[in-house]
Amino acid sequence: MKILPKGFKIGARTVKTVIAASLAIIIANLLQLEYATAAGIIAILSVGNTKKSTFKSGKNRLLNFVAAMVIAVSSFSIFGHGVWAFSLFLLIFIPYSAACGMSEGIAPNAVLVTHLLIAPQITPQLLLNEFLLNFIAISLAFIVNLKMPNFQVELSEREKRVEHHFRDLFKRLSFIMAKQSEQAHFLHKVEDLEHYISDSLVLARTHMDNRFGDGAGASYDYFAMRATQVEIFREITEILLQIEVTVQKEQLAALTQLFKAIGKNYAKENDGQALMSQVEATLDTYRASDLPKTRAEFEARARLFQILQLIQTFIQIKRDYIHLSEERKRNF
């Protein structure tokens, strides 16, 4: 008979929460604060998934604490220490907190206000007591989250894999049209790359939220750029597979050379200037060629132009990313 449910696991966040809550109660007791256990409860609510989320929620809770005390003191002073005064406090405090974007401060500060509710009178010492309970809990929640895993090595490896997969797909794209049996498999590989980039983007966001500084979001910006590119690549692929290989052979040959060039030169550091020039040259070749003579040729030519325009967008996204990265380095 299993005592623990399937999936039971004591993770790092659980351990940090236990440490923060326990230390908060211990410190509150050492300072001889009233309602010391409340510090533990607030610490439990304050430990976030990342450094930035913990810091932001802690800051909002402290700012929200001031509003809670002002509203509560005013309400209790006018209507006395009763349930109706507390109800009035909640009626004002909850929508105020939500409107200010500080909803995370509603629960812990409402708990602290109940201490004012049951007190015979509200004194400066009592207000200081509530502030210290809040401050101790929030500070410990942030301290235990100072040690966070560094995903930079993994993100760098993921960047290399994305570069490799893109190069491979562009090389395959030059001959996949003639092999209908492999087209479904090729689209599946594109979908796999989409999922991989999406997962990498989540990891990069977590890494960014655990780091302070101007360079913390570099990996996130990179994968955001690649996520946009892979969407365009899928669109290019879908249009390309609609073209009959027996139509517009010369234009398809020029496009094949362009795909090979992109596959060969695809890299994080490449600013895309040479590739953009090659796209322009291919467009000039298309414009100078004879006009389509049949409906099939006309449709194929239109799709080829559409593909080239998408490739220009694909490359321009990378150029914008390079420009933004260089701008940030100069400002830093």
Does 3 map to a domain? no
Same domain, yes or no: 51 and 83? yes
Same domain, yes or no: 164 and 119? no
- Residue 323: which domain range? 152-331
Residue ending a domain, choose from 82, 112, 144: 144
**19-47 per-position pLDDT tens digit:** 999 999 999 999 999 999 999 999 998 88
**Residues 249-255: contacts with CB within 8 Å, 24+ apart?**
250/289, 251/285, 251/286, 251/289, 251/300, 251/301, 251/304, 252/177, 252/304, 254/282, 254/285, 254/286, 255/282, 255/304, 255/307, 255/308
Q: Are 155 and 206 in contact (CB under 8 A)?
A: no
Give 180's pLDDT tier (boundaries 50, 70, 90). low
Same domain, yes or no: 161 and 27? no
Does 197 map to a domain? yes
Q: Across residues 50-66, what is the average pLDDT?
A: 86
pTM: 0.71
Give 1's pLDDT tier (boundaries 50, 70, 90). very low
**263-286 per-position pLDDT tens digit:** 777 666 666 777 788 878 777 777
Instruction: Say if residue 215's pLDDT is above 80.
Output: no
**86-126 per-position pLDDT tens digit:** 999 999 999 999 999 888 889 899 999 999 999 888 999 99
